[in-house]
Structure 1
């Protein structure tokens, strides 16, 4: 039985890595139509056809009497998750699921073509209306899919899909309340001394914060060397892991026009070395971002010893905790980074400001998306009004931010994962 599960895990890893390489290629060259077509083919054609085989294998595992004789300390969680997945509504290939997939692609495409948040260009009225209409369609379709599958709403379905058993909606509400009670006052103190932060769109705050740090803006090779030295000082093994990623060429950090925004790490389970992608912004934020992604890569390395796939994967909140911890540990070493010119304390302060802002932003978005899916039949004006109220509870009144910032704040509802 263990061998059968191991073989299944290896097959899944092989398929996963093929999909990952397609996504990597697509992220590095978003304007390459051939690369995009290969990725879309995997998502739209291959994935729906693979799913029935996955479900059949899952059912065989649950039905087999030998599954109860497996080491429960190792397999109990996996067996529970497998049973849960089999109990979820299967609508892949159905009209509703196809409509959701189509609307989701349209939503992401519309967001991708928004002007960069750090520019002075405002969002056009047509773009704003398009995004808002697509979002309304998605909310209703997801609610219909959830109710058709026997769930009260999309929130319940999504919690089940993600196996969120450690906390529920009420726990999230208490989290939102605690962030507003304890973290929001810290942000008010920060903007009282830095009023400019209150006048720019939320997604641009981190970029603006780090511009206060005097930085020599080194080449990509020097940047990777700096990050490697920081990791090596924390633990030589951490430095070795990052050096291996660099040596294998599984890293791309230079800024390019048609490269995917942001930064992320892609797990390559067969090759064994993750791939790090980052689009540099040429400020000290690059150091923080690359250390964050290195944290993900190191976490990935330490899970490689697990014998099967499901033991190597953790919820997002666990993975992000690892990456943020790496940021905080490395910050104690920033005063030694060449090129900071004695601005090590300013870098640590900027990092602290950015963490406080991120905690508020994440909680605000989470509270907003809980409201959206708990009230699926709202209209666009009502949604904008609720977002403004939620934003104000965390960051202060949006009216103080100026007309342009207010227009971009309203567009903050265009967050890809909502």
Structure 2
């Protein structure tokens, strides 16, 4: 099925994205007379159509640039939007927000339908400052430098060049000397750019701090809690959550690390001992190349529900995947919604590993979310908070496990894959706590230097097990581990959501094991809401609680531990 965009009703079918073509559209919206509630709703729909077109244009610029960071023309196309279009849109969007907030017909709107939208818009009005427009532009351009720097990283192993993602396969090798050499080679490559990335990060911190001060906040942390729309929890809840993870999850992982040490027959675990299989068998290889990964994932989603598989098949038919790792490609993986098309693009760096399988089903969960929200009335209704977006993806990682026989024909390999996945589910929680607590420290201490930052990271990482390995003699590498986390550079304060959503995903999976069809229906119904309901109602629709208390962490961790023990 070839996807076609829905016909536009307000903006020209072929809109050339230049300021000269956009300015009249914003002016018309700003000066349009609104005489009743129906006209107000139509105004919202017209504004939404314009914003969706702009979002999709920006999406393609970002996608193309991240697929080939070495292409200067693609970088310039991205920067053009960031420097020439967005700064002009920001003040006008703020004026449009005011026009809506001040409309005499706002009280005639359906209160339930527009509650979440109105709340977010009022918050945006509170936070807006003209003097921050230039800073946001500068941040947008500087943040992209992380992709350019890391996308250019490669190493040579056995006379062959590999991206860092591809080279990570060698860290799973059964031969300890091979994996130690590979791990050290990767880290040495990272250390080459350590100082440049530190300087870049210092610049980002100072710019972000200025944004917060301009908006009347003491620090960027407090500003971002408001900017991200965290209406349901506060910084203190994050500290409490971290304590719960330290108390309930870290001991389980320490116990597992000890089992790993004994199984590998080692006196102590080193950083290159954490990925190798303790079964004594080579690393799992669920597919041979990117094309096979896509086809097997379509088959896996079909087995859950044919409608889900059809959505991934549609993406394949429309070339909406770029999954294989190569030099010059940005690191990481993402699902980017195309606001007008109603479909997403999945980007990742596959090296034919189990981690790549979980990345694909994770991003596939996001993709299903994109399709399910495509027909919501306003573009803003599709802008889910990350706690909801990541619930979509992380739940799919676990729901899909019952159909991983598509990737693993050998029952023993399938069992191994499930065990490794569940171990990773638990490992996610302390690492999220590390990155989240590190960000709290960074932005409440904005005048620190690189050495202070490294020391703070070491202390925080140690508190949560530091990977449960001995770092003696590897102090430089230890202090630099944080630089691999793209979120710190590009999407600050976007990380605690993974832990909150991971708990939710475990709860969804627990329901799925008890009643698959009911749990799947609830999960899909929750995703279809987009962001038209408050977060706790979306979680309730999914059949779970929005809760990250110590008791809930303990309950769900115990469930995962039991499931692990059942696998033997």
Q: Structure 1 length as normaliser, TM-score?
A: 0.90
2:9 maps to which residue? none
Q: Tell me by how many angstroms 1:413 deviates.
A: 3.1
1:68 maps to which residue? 107
How has the CA–CA distance of structure 1 residues 72 and 413 changed in structure 2, closer, same or farther, with 3 Å as cutoff? same
2:85 maps to which residue? 46
Whole-Å separation in 1 of the counterparts to 2:190 and 2:354: 32
1:84 maps to which residue? 123
Superposed, 1:143-182 pairs within 5 Å as: 143-182=209-248
1:191 maps to which residue? 257
How has the CA–CA distance of structure 1 residues 339 and 35 changed in structure 2, closer, same or farther, with 3 Å as cutoff? farther
Contact 1:388 1:398 in 2 (8 A): no
Point out the more displaced range, 239-248 or 86-95.
86-95
**Which of 14, 18, 41 is matched with 2:53 structurally?**
14
1:325 maps to which residue? 395
Contact 1:245 1:275 in 2 (8 A): yes
Q: Tell me by how many angstroms 1:132 deviates.
A: 2.6
**Which of 231, 253, 259 is matched with 2:323 structurally?**
253
Secondary structure of the residue that 1:194 maps to in structure 2? helix
2:498 maps to which residue? none
Q: Tell me by how many angstroms 1:168 deviates.
A: 0.3
Is 1:223 equivalent to 2:289 in the alignment? no
Whole-Å separation in 2 of the counterparts to 1:17 and 1:124: 33
How has the CA–CA distance of structure 1 residues 84 and 274 changed in structure 2, closer, same or farther, with 3 Å as cutoff? same
Superposed, 1:1-400 pairs within 5 Å as: 1-91=40-130, 96-97=135-136, 100-101=139-140, 103-106=142-145, 109-113=148-152, 116=164, 118=168, 119=182, 120-121=184-185, 122-123=188-189, 127-195=193-261, 198-200=269-271, 213-215=283-285, 217-335=287-405, 337-340=407-410, 342-396=412-466, 400=470
Higher relative contact order (CA 8 A, sep 6+): 1
Point out the more displaced range, 140-149 or 359-368.
140-149
2:493 maps to which residue? none
How has the CA–CA distance of structure 1 residues 397 and 79 changed in structure 2, closer, same or farther, with 3 Å as cutoff? closer
Whole-Å separation in 2 of the counterparts to 1:304 and 1:98: 29
Contact 2:286 2:352 in 1 (8 A): no
Point out the more displaced range, 114-123 or 27-36.
114-123
Contact 1:13 1:309 in 2 (8 A): yes
Whole-Å separation in 1 of the counterparts to 2:244 and 2:418: 24
Contact 2:142 2:200 in 1 (8 A): yes
Secondary structure of the residue that 1:38 maps to in structure 2? helix
Contact 1:216 1:339 in 2 (8 A): no
Contact 1:212 1:346 in 2 (8 A): no
Secondary structure of the residue that 2:437 maps to in structure 1? helix
How has the CA–CA distance of structure 1 residues 400 and 304 changed in structure 2, closer, same or farther, with 3 Å as cutoff? same
Whole-Å separation in 2 of the counterparts to 1:206 and 1:397: 11
How has the CA–CA distance of structure 1 residues 77 and 345 changed in structure 2, closer, same or farther, with 3 Å as cutoff? same
> How many residues are aligned here?
415
How has the CA–CA distance of structure 1 residues 305 and 123 changed in structure 2, closer, same or farther, with 3 Å as cutoff? same
Whole-Å separation in 2 of the counterparts to 1:330 and 1:347: 12
Contact 1:199 1:401 in 2 (8 A): yes
1:409 maps to which residue? 478
- Cα displacement string for residues 382-406 of structure 1 (whole angstroms, at most 9, x for unaligned residues): 22222111111112488812434x4
Structure 1: runs of 5 or more not aligned? none
Point out the more displaced range, 261-270 or 295-304.
261-270
Whole-Å separation in 2 of the counterparts to 1:162 and 1:206: 34
Contact 1:123 1:408 in 2 (8 A): no
Structure 2: runs of 5 or more not aligned? 1-39, 155-163, 169-181, 489-568
Whole-Å separation in 2 of the counterparts to 1:300 and 1:42: 23
Whole-Å separation in 2 of the counterparts to 1:126 and 1:336: 41
Whole-Å separation in 2 of the counterparts to 1:11 and 1:149: 27
- Cα displacement string for residues 32-77 of structure 1 (whole angstroms, at most 9, x for unaligned residues): 1111111111112211112122112111111111122111101122
Q: Structure 2 length as normaliser, TM-score?
A: 0.67
Whole-Å separation in 1 of the counterparts to 2:320 and 2:142: 33
How has the CA–CA distance of structure 1 residues 303 and 192 changed in structure 2, closer, same or farther, with 3 Å as cutoff? same
Whole-Å separation in 2 of the counterparts to 1:183 and 1:297: 30
Contact 2:334 2:347 in 1 (8 A): yes
